[in-house]
Amino acid sequence: MTKNTILVVDDDLGIQKQLKWSFTDYDVVFADDRASAIAQLRRHEPKVVTLDLGLPPDPANASEGLKTLEEIIALAPRTKVIVVTGNNDKENALRAIDLGAYDFYQKPIDSDTIKLLVQRALNLASLEHENRVLAKARPGMGRIIGNSESIQLVTRRAEKIAGTDVSTLLLGESGTGKEVFARSIHEHSPRKEKPFVAINCASIPENLLESELFGYEKGAFTGANKTTLGKIEMAHGGTLFLDEIGDMPIGLQAKMLRFLQERVIERVGGRNEIPVDIRVICATHRDLQAMVKEDSFREDLYYRIGEIPIFIPPLRDREQDVLLLARTFLNQYREEFNAKAKTFSEGAIQAMMAHKWPGNIRELQNKLKSAVIMAESAVVHAEDLGLMAGNSEREQETLNLREVREQAESRAIRKAYQAADKNMSKTAELLGVTRPTLYSLIDKYQMEDIKTGV
């Protein structure tokens, strides 16, 4: 495997040496002023740069460093730049974040901590890169952000059925992205130039749902002043997305089934059979099989709509997707609200990874939106997100070596646990420790989710 290249911009030879020894896992290239930094950037295109803000000709002042940062961001905006500032120079650190730096680090340099920061930045850079490559390869599915194995499997499944007309049933908890998937399937299908019409069966009163779906003729009922098309007809040629199909009243289920079998509709109060050509995608967070058993959902309709079911995984089962999505939403809301928030503290990242996200992506969006609007500085902390930073989680500024090590340990455990598919023996093996040691570490760091096997 080729090593990642990182660029260290620092005019202190001692520090260059120290970092060279710290970053043995990477190809390290150096620069000692603005011009050489830019030359190295062009030549090596590093994903991560560490940049000392105190550069010649005026090393006591951060201005040359900030200028260098601006040039790097203008030339290669995706580069993750970690700025290194003088002790207690928080003001310039925040200015740098404001200009687009990924993170900051205050001197004196501690090898373990900076290694962690670089590792995290590289990890994020490759997650983002992978996601861009995947999105490019699947134009219609591009709106689905996520690299995790579980979401990729589902995306491939969706992609395969997109070109066909089979009825698809999207299953998954609320906020997992069922509607996003439905739209992506439509956009990836031969029907993409035709309408995509969505209707939520749970949000329309029972007595109105029929005319919403099938339309009505003038005079069909009091108030029916003119003939009106229903959603089914509006979707002609395209795709109809029936969200919360489990909430469709049983009487209407019969009429829906008839339409799906015969592909003709009759408007309410109408006598003519009108042929309609649509593809139907349904979604629900309910357990339709259980509803079939207790007779609240028709079995024949269940089989008709669910020729191919797709289960969208909850966010907590999507590995590091939460970080990728969080970054995307942070950037999006920052622009939308012209806000200050630019990056996450270490504590915020740990807290997001540990949180179970019962409301899934929608919950993540809500938490981020309020954090971005409320944030007073460029760095979003766990508390801004309404999440508690746990005992093993600390905020950015801590340089305490013991805490840094503990944090690295807990992160490695989480990574190994995911890589080992939640198998404890394999996790222990990957980490090079015995099972009892692993259990005691899990206890020490209070990793409840791993303890209970969630």
Ligand X SMILES: Nc1ncnc2c1ncn2[C@@H]1O[C@H](COP(=O)(O)OP(=O)(O)OP(=O)(O)O)[C@@H](O)[C@H]1O
* Contact flag: residue 28 with ligand X (CB under 6 A): no
Cα separation of 261 and 300, whole Å? 11
Among 47, 69, 74, residue whose Cα is nearest residue 130? 47
Q: CB-wise, 160 or 444, nearer to ligand X?
A: 160
* Contact flag: residue 362 with ligand X (CB under 6 A): yes
- ∠ CA 69-53-33, rounded to 5°: 75
Q: CB-wise, 113 or 176, nearer to ligand X?
A: 176
For ligand X, the binding residue among 46, 65, 140, 175 (CB under 6 A) is: 175
Task: Name the minimum Å distance from CB 331 to ligand X.
Answer: 12
For ligand X, the binding residue among 85, 167, 365, 392 (CB under 6 A) is: 365
* Contact flag: residue 130 with ligand X (CB under 6 A): no
* Contact flag: residue 178 with ligand X (CB under 6 A): yes
Backbone angles phi, psi at 429, to 5 degrees: -65, -45
* Contact flag: residue 179 with ligand X (CB under 6 A): yes
What is residue 225's DSSP assignment? -
Q: Which stretch binds ligand X (CB under 6 A): 100-108, 168-176, 411-419, 420-428?
A: 168-176
Half-sphere exposure of 115 (CA within 13 A, CB side): 17
Binding flags for ligand X, 228-247, as an x/- string (CB under 6 A) = ---------------x----
* Contact flag: residue 288 with ligand X (CB under 6 A): no
Q: How many residues sit in the footprint of ligand X (CB under 6 A)?
A: 16
* Contact flag: residue 186 with ligand X (CB under 6 A): no
Cα separation of 410 and 445, whole Å? 7
* Contact flag: residue 90 with ligand X (CB under 6 A): no
Strand partners, 379: 343
Q: Which stretch binds ligand X (CB under 6 A): 72-80, 169-177, 381-389, 436-444?
A: 169-177
* Contact flag: residue 154 with ligand X (CB under 6 A): no
* Contact flag: residue 145 with ligand X (CB under 6 A): yes
Q: Is the bond preceding residue 195 a cis peptide, omega within 30 degrees?
A: no
Cα separation of 46 and 370, whole Å? 34
Q: Which stretch binds ligand X (CB under 6 A): 13-21, 105-113, 170-178, 298-306?
A: 170-178
* Contact flag: residue 66 with ligand X (CB under 6 A): no
Which residue sits closest to ligand X, CB atoms considered?
177
- In terms of Cβ atoms closer than 10 Å to its own Cβ (0-12, 13-18, 19+), residue 91 is exposed
- The alpha carbon dihedral of 364, 424, 390, 400 has a sign of negative
DSSP letter string, 227-251: -B--HHHHTTTSEEEEETGGGS-HH
Interface residues toward ligand X, by CB under 6 A: 144-146, 172, 174-180, 243, 285, 361-362, 365
